[in-house]
Structure 1
Amino acid sequence: MNMEQIEAFIFVSLTGSFSKTADLLYLSQPTVSMRIKALEAYLDCKLFRRTGHTISLTREGELFLPYAKSILHSLQEGQMALKRSAGEVEGELAVSSVFIAAFYILPDLVEQFQKMYPKIKLTILTGHSHQVLEMVLNHEVAFGIARAVTHPQINQIQLMSDQMVLAIYPGHAFTERRQVTIEEVAQEPLILFNRGSLDWKLIDSAFTHHQLKNKVVMEVDNIEVVKRMVKQKLGIAFVPRFSILKDLEKGELHEVEVLNLPQIQRNFELIYLKETPFQGIMRTFVDFLMQSKLREDRT
């Protein structure tokens, strides 16, 4: 067993694909397969279950994964410490992102990245998902961060997931309750965020399914404005949970589970051209994101 085998195992578990892992590690697909087989032979068990085009962890794979992540995490920490001390990594990197990720997710990630690699200049461009995709396809940026984007020329890596939750203001009638029914929500003034999104379509379909009509009193295309309106007690709203984390910590907003409403969970993905060679700064950036994801999984 060696680090190359462990790295291949972790990346296949993250991407669910031998070919995507090969692209990420700048290897051939047969090489990735050989490393997984060698690791399975050493551990004397199957780590992945292959069903058609779907690859998933076996029970043994799930058991081994946290230990493999711990090993790789420690190695990456050591490697990055050496690179930082030597001041080796420098250059520029352009990344595009959907607005919501740029506002709520990237600031903390960029702060961590710049502390680790102060000589790398990041350029962040924003847009809607289709614009982020176009920037990647046109080689304007190396990577994009988007939601639910597919294209034959790109690969995706899941960065994080989040779900839509009902945000209410302190003192609202729902404040002391953990759960409310969709019928009760239908009686409340609702501030609508992003009517054209898939999130809202799913929520609206749930109201329709229960033969309920929601009381939309306001439509807003900016989450910060939505939050301000809720805090002003003008209504309640369905918003991505990560957008109100700090408000929840401060007690300025509360979240309530809505019964009879499907769990709406959406992924943020890193997208890049399949032809992209992962070398130098690009490899450094992907390794940083994977390490951040490992830290998130460990908490």
Structure 2
Amino acid sequence: MNLDNLEAFVYVVHYGSFNKAADALFLSQPSVTARIQSLERDLDCQLFDRMGKKINLTDKGQRFLPDAQQILRLYQSSKQHLHRAAEVTGELRIDCTVSASNYIIPQILPRIKEEFPEVNIRLTTAPSDTILHRVLSSESDLGLVRNVIHPHIHSLKLLEDPIKLFVYEDHPFTKLEHVSAELLSREPFIFFECGSLDWVRIQRSFESLTEPPSINYQVDNLETAKKLVMNRAGICFLPELCARREVQEGRLIPVQVPEISGNALHTHIISRIGESTSLAQAFLTAGREALIH
């Protein structure tokens, strides 16, 4: 069985289009079609139902997909083991979001350096989409990003950071066991916007209220948001990790809002499949050990 044909199959499923899969694979659309047809001949079954421009997996295609993904993962994993010695020396290029750089990376890098003393580390901050592109193009070895999905990317969940409402000390909400969403309409808000789906859900929760809160400040920097709250400019939803020190010092107080609970900021470690896998796993282990304290 040809691995290129398996890869084409997985890409077509991922992108839902022969044309988009061809663009991602740097191939022509007829070449992708030919690979799928060759795979179907090898398997002696039809993998896709083609209805005009729309394509859907057949029942056999659905059953085959997990096996195809597993075969590709095993191949890339075997390839990685052959090159493992080379990946723990030289320069380690890490890209991460600004929030990961501020609150996660400083706790992890000393542990990585201790485990891999020969590695020199170069750190760059960028948005998640940019990091994905840089990892795919081998400009970076590892990325710390929001959750992304791509057939050439191996992703490990590092952190699920609960998003909570934070108020300043002596705020009236600190005397309540929990706060109803309706009470929020009376408060000036600082809204931290990072583009993740969890923040969109919170914003939509506001929109569903009869009287949505007044968003006095909309910022894209966590440190700015925290300082505005501590200066009594308003209240704010923030990831728990970024406010840990201020909570310990009593300068920020978390408040329960049952209607807007269950949201969290997810941070994943990504690498190209078959590359930097042992370093990604080391990052995961170091991160989990560091961040639980």
User: TM-score by structure 2 length?
Assistant: 0.67
| CA RMSD of superposed structures (Å) | 2.6
- The answer for the alignment partner of 1:52 in structure 2 is none
Aligned residues: 218
Corresponding residue number in structure 2 for 1:110:
109
Q: Which whole-Å CA distance do the structure 2 matches of 1:201 and 1:130 have between them?
A: 17
Take 2:72 and 2:208, find their aligned partners in 1: how far apart are those partners? 39
Contact 2:162–2:239, Cα closer than 8 Å, also in 1: yes
Measured in 2, the distance between the counterparts of 1:24 and 1:184 equals 53
Corresponding residue number in structure 1 for 2:266: 267
- Aligned identity (percent) is 26
Q: Distance in 2 between matches of 1:227 and 1:93?
A: 32
- Extract unaligned runs of 5+ from structure 2: 1-68, 81-87
The letter of the residue matching 1:263 is G
Closer, same or farther: CA 164–26 of 1 in aligned 2, 3 Å: same
Question: How far did 1:225 drift?
Answer: 0.6
Please give the TM-score of this superposition, normalised by the length of structure 1.
0.66
Map of 2:193 onto structure 1: 194
Structure 2 match to 1:163:
162
The CA deviation at 1:22 is: 4.1
Bigger Rg, structure 1 or 2: 2
The 8 Å contact of residues 26 and 277 in structure 1, kept in 2 or not, is answered as no
Q: 1:26 aligns with which of 78, 81, 86?
A: 78
Residue identity opposite 2:160 in structure 1 = S
Gaps of 5+ in 1: 1-16, 29-88
- Give CA deviations for 1:189-238 in whole Å, capped at 9, x if unaligned: 10111175423321121122232311111111111011111000010001
For 1:91 and 1:181, the matched residues in 2 are separated by: 53
Deviation >6 Å, runs of 4+? 296-299
The 5 Å alignment of 1:222-237 reads 222-237=221-236
1:286 paired to 2:285:
no
Separation of aligned partners in 2, 1:180 and 1:131: 38
1:101-127 residue CA offsets vs partner (Å, 9 max, x unmatched): 111100110122223433311111111
- Partners in 2 of 1:98 and 1:294 — Cα distance? 18
Tell me which residue corresponds to 1:248.
Answer: 247
User: How far apart are residue 164 of structure 1 and its match?
Assistant: 1.1
